[in-house]
C-alpha cells in the first residue's frame, strides 16, 4: 500500500524558515516524480513544486521561486520542502504527492504550516 507521511509542520514567524519532510513507502520512490501541493484554510488546492524522479529537474510556482526548495533523498525514500522567508500567505496544509506527468495519483495526509507573529 502506498503511504506518504508528511512531518515538520508547525507555527513559524514571518521571515523564518521551516523544512517539511515526506516519508514514502509501498512503492519504488526513485521511479516517481514527486510534488508538494498546499491548501490554505478554507481555500482550494494549489500546486507548489515538483521534482523529477532523480532530482535533476525542479519546477516551482512563481510565488515560491527563490524562497522554497524541493529536494529528495532516494536512499531514504524521503521528499523535502525547505521553506525560507516565509510569509503569512504561505499558511496552509502542505501535501506531498506522487506526480505522474502532472497527475497526482497518491497523496499524504498533510502537514500544517502557520506563519504568524
Give residues in contact with other proteins (CB under 8 A): 4, 35, 44-47, 50, 59, 61-62, 95, 97, 101-109
Which C-beta is closer to other proteins: that of 13 or that of 62?
A: 62
Cβ distance to other proteins smaller for residue 86 or 97: 97
Contact 87, 75 (CB under 8 A): no
How, if at all, do strands 111-115 and 10-12 pair?
A: parallel
Residue whose C-alpha is closest to residue 22's, from 88, 82, 67: 82
Closest CB to other proteins among 63 and 88? 63
Q: Give the shortest CB-107-to-other proteins separation in angstroms.
A: 4
CB of 44 to other proteins, least distance (A): 5
Q: Please, what is the minimum distance in Å from the beta carbon of residue 59 to other proteins?
A: 5
Q: At its nearest, how many Å lie between other proteins and the CB of residue 36?
A: 11
Cell of 67: 524562497
Nearer to other proteins, 12 or 22 (CB): 22
CA 78 to chain centre: 11
SS3 label, residue 7: strand
Residues 97/10/15/47 CA torsion (nearest 10 deg): 20
Amino acid at each position: 500500500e502506498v503511504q506518504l507521511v508528511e512531518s515538520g509542520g508547525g507555527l513559524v514567524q514571518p521571515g523564518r524558515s521551516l523544512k517539511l519532510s515526506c516519508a514514502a513507502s509501498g512503492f519504488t520512490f526513485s521511479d516517481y516524480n514527486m510534488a508538494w501541493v498546499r491548501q490554505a484554510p478554507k481555500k482550494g488546492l494549489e500546486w507548489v513544486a515538483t521534482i523529477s524522479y532523480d532530482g535533476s529537474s525542479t519546477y516551482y510556482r512563481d510565488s515560491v521561486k527563490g524562497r522554497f526548495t524541493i529536494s529528495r533523498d532516494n536512499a531514504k525514500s524521503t521528499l523535502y520542502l525547505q521553506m525560507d522567508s516565509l510569509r503569512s500567505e504561505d499558511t496552509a496544509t502542505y501535501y506531498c504527492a506522487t506526480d505522474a506527468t502532472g497527475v497526482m495519483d497518491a497523496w499524504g495526509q498533510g502537514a500544517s504550516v502557520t506563519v504568524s507573529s
